[in-house]
Amino acid sequence: MAENRPSTPVEFKRECRKYFYYIADIKTRMDEIRQVDYKMTGVHSIDFERVRTRTHGNQDARLVAYIELSTELNRQLQEVEEKVLWIINTIGRIPDPSFRPIVWMLYVQGKRIAEVADLYDMSKDYLSQLVSAEIRKLFPDNAEEISEAE
């Protein structure tokens, strides 16, 4: 994700909106990896009713396929984990620490600006201006207006 990281406040907000999707995706990928690892071990419950014969040539090809699948799933898992860490670290870099929970509520949790403004006993316009100013500090080269996206 290093080369595709958001470089504007609007792209940052869009990425934050995907946070919970990424968390669910991590859990799904971890389950898939566990399943593939289980299949690679070849451990199954004992079935006394059926006689099994094995063909070793076919098993080698399946094992290679499972290893490739496991490698790809691990790569995808790492990519999604990097996105989650990037969101957390970027919010952690907000210069004024009092705005970190506000940005979390607005961008990650998707709360309305009026709802958050009521929590802090501020007008929504003033809070929006303050948040926009803090976010622009994170992306000084591309400080496009984000208030319309809020």
> Are residue 16 and residue 35 in the same domain, yes or no?
yes
> Are residue 68 and residue 15 in the same domain, yes or no?
yes
The mean pLDDT value for 119-145 works out to: 85
**What confidence tens digit (pLDDT) does each residue in 70-123 have?**
899 999 999 999 999 999 999 999 999 999 999 999 999 999 999 999 999 999
Residues 6+ apart with CB under 8 A from 135: 9, 12, 13, 94, 103, 146
Q: Of the candidates 71, 92, 113, which is a domain's last residue?
A: 92
Q: What is the pTM of this model?
A: 0.77
> Are residue 11 and residue 81 in the same domain, yes or no?
yes
Cβ atoms of 3 and 82 within 8 Å: the answer is: no
For the chain, what is the domain count? 2
Cβ atoms of 135 and 14 within 8 Å: the answer is: no
**In a domain? residue 49:** no
The mean pLDDT value for 20-42 works out to: 89
**In a domain? residue 7:** yes
> Are residue 101 and residue 87 in the same domain, yes or no?
no
First to last CA, the chain: 25
What domain range is 113 assigned to? 96-140
**In a domain? residue 12:** yes
